[in-house]
Structure 1
Amino acid sequence: MICKRLGIGAALAASTLAASLALAPGAAAVVPQSATIEADCGVYGGGAATLTATQDGTGATITVTSSITAPLALAEDSIASTLSLVKAGGGTTVFTGTENPAIAAGEGVTVGPLTGTVAAGDSLEAFGGSLQMVVFGITITCTANGPQSPGPFVFE
């Protein structure tokens, strides 16, 4: 009888532990996961942009989705992009890639995910950095008009 009680008690404890782990929220590796900026791309226009970040260890990605429209249709993976973010304490971290969805003329430009390397504690901000996109051999440089909202990306 004692063995049955111990077996039932152990099974209940294990299932309670498993249920509480399954319901526990996962820790976000980067906070915030998205931020907005107002971008200026010179003669190519400007507007709102959202930066969405993810992290997996020391690898991180950022996707930039903007209201800045493409004057011409752009094929999938046809934009070479380099995003430089300013590190708190000095220096920059660079994210690069050639990924983008197909973009119709007049549609907002999206690039990424752009990949880069981060360290635990890195705090990265778009203001003071830039996004360079090479389209049809033409380099377009966009900069943030002010700090990103709600604040810099902080990586674990």
Structure 2
Amino acid sequence: MRPSRLGIGAALAAGALAVSGLALAPAAAAVTPTDAKADYDCGSFGGGDANLRAVQSGSSITITVSTSVVTPLPIGAGAATTTLKLTRNGGPATATFAGSSNPSIPAFSAFRSGPLTSATAFAPGNTLDSYFAGTALTLKIFGTTVACEAVTSQTPGPFVVN
């Protein structure tokens, strides 16, 4: 029994159509900018730049924080708790991101943590920027709380949800 040329041609055409449909599918939404920087004052613990990296997945956003705060002791993976509060849509609403997912950090190295998660569902057009009405970034390490206040707005600008 010979295969039908019409059957093979139809199968090839259907496959080509499926592949071209994948190529034309819309790209996944992503928060912009992906990276932002803001200055934080952490009192006697110092301060300086905090680099924030945001990743969007549907209506959820996770943020990774890298700070200028240097730890004098090594910190094991997952041994610190980080909370970041950002102003949402220009305020007064806020969004809080939290987690205990820091990597292992050697002594005398800058503190890093994330991804931090939020229970807030974000909609396209929502913005997230530095929070100025109190403690914006909290690091809890070895029972010590480091409270930091935002000094500047994020640059190059607020995160915008797509």
Question: What TM-score results when the alignment is normalised by the length of structure 2?
Answer: 0.79
Q: Structure 1 regions of 5+ residues with no counterpart? A: none
Aligned-residue sequence identity (percent) comes to 41
Query: Is residue 124 of structure 1 aligned with residue 128 of structure 2?
Result: yes
State the distance in 1 between where 2:79 and 2:144 align: 12
Secondary structure at the aligned position of 2:136 is classed as strand
Taking structure 1 as the reference length, the TM-score comes to 0.82
Asked if structure 1 preserves the Cα contact closer than 8 Å seen for 2:29 and 2:57, the reply is: no
1:75-124 CA distance string (max 9 Å, x none): 11011111110112421101111110111111110011110123203211
Structure 1 residue runs of 4 or more that deviate by more than 4 Å after TM superposition? 7-14
Q: How does 1:81-92 map to 2 (within 5 A)?
A: 81-88=82-89, 89-92=91-94
**Aligned-pair RMSD on alpha carbons?**
2.6
Q: 1:94 to 1:15 in 2, by over 3 A?
A: same
- Which aligned pairs between 1:3-152 and structure 2 lie closer than 5 A? 11=12, 15=16, 18=19, 21-22=22-23, 26-88=27-89, 89-116=91-118, 117-120=120-123, 121-128=125-132, 130-152=136-158
Q: 1:34 to 1:11 in 2, by over 3 A?
A: same
Contact 2:52–2:64, Cα closer than 8 Å, also in 1: yes
CA displacement at 1:20 relative to structure 2: 7.8
User: Could you tell me how far 1:138 is from its partner in structure 2?
Assistant: 1.3
Distance 1:8 1:90 in 2: 61
Aligned length: 154
